[in-house]
Amino acid sequence: MKIEWQGEITSVQPRFRLLRSFDQRHHVYLGYALRVRGSVAGEPGEAWFGVGKVSQQKHQFEVGQTASGQARPVVDPRMESADFYKVSRLAIQCRQGTVGATPPWHGPAPPIETYRERGHRRLFKRTYHSAACSSCIWGARMPVEIVVDQWNPDQKRYRFETFCYGPKSCSRYRAGPTRKVPGRRGMTYEEEDWVDAELTAHRGADD
Ligand code: SF4
């Protein structure tokens, strides 16, 4: 059943899913997530809404706009960064966004290809939630599906990880502890700092 929502957009971020299997990882590019503060299913509150790439291209969602629509609760919250998706009857009441000169960075989120090309670094979960990274276009909270044993792919674990696609010089950035991925027979893979360094080596500090 669809719910009605309406309110101010307080964040626009990539809506990606991360699949891990020991030291292997790849992404599923679902689109974008809009955080809206206002009325959700008739109650005051805040929630994340998943929209597609085409919808972002068309509406150029950004922080400060007000919008409304309908949406469905996600079927499997372990696999989604949004609370609701399949958005319909979308309407933008105020198109004027708010852009500041310091992080967190607002404005319309870039194309998905830009995120892919930039690559990400791990972002401390606490920083994501406390230092406004949750409203930055370069921040991302991804659902993670871990295949613990590739010979027994039904054995999975789920969690969320936070990342930053933004400039490496950002004053708000904190990496936080390295991430550990469980593997078969009790083994653990530790994703060390060089992984992020290599993935973002093509960018300068301020890019
Ligand atoms: S650390 Fe990253 S996500 Fe946070 S404000 Fe800076 S660029 Fe944005």
| Average confidence score pLDDT of the chain | 95
Q: Ligand 1: which of 123, 138, 196, 206 to mutate, judged by most atoms within 8 Å of the beta carbon?
A: 138
| pLDDT at position 98 | 75
Closest atom of ligand 1 relative to the 173 alpha carbon:
1
To test ligand 1's pocket by mutation, which of 63, 171, 173 has the most ligand atoms within 8 angstroms of CB?
Answer: 173
Q: Which of 194, 130, 124, 203 is nearest to 166 (CA)?
A: 203
Residue 188, judged by CB atoms within 10 A of its CB (0-12, 13-18, 19+), counts as exposed
Residue 144 near residue 25, CB atoms below 8 Å: no
Tell me how far CA of residue 154 lies from CA of 80, 149, 150, 151, in angstroms: 19, 8, 9, 9
- Taking the centre of ligand 1 as the mean of its atom positions, its distance from the CA of residue 144, in whole angstroms, is 20
59-108-66 Cα angle (round to 5): 60
**pLDDT value for 3:** 97
Tell me what pLDDT residue 31 has.
Answer: 98
Q: Is there an atom of ligand 1 within 6 Å of 136 CB?
A: yes
| CA–centroid distance for 73 within its chain | 17
Query: Ligand 1 atom closest to Cα of 104?
Result: 5
pLDDT > 70: percent of the chain:
100
pTM greater than 0.85 (yes/no): yes
pLDDT at 95: 75
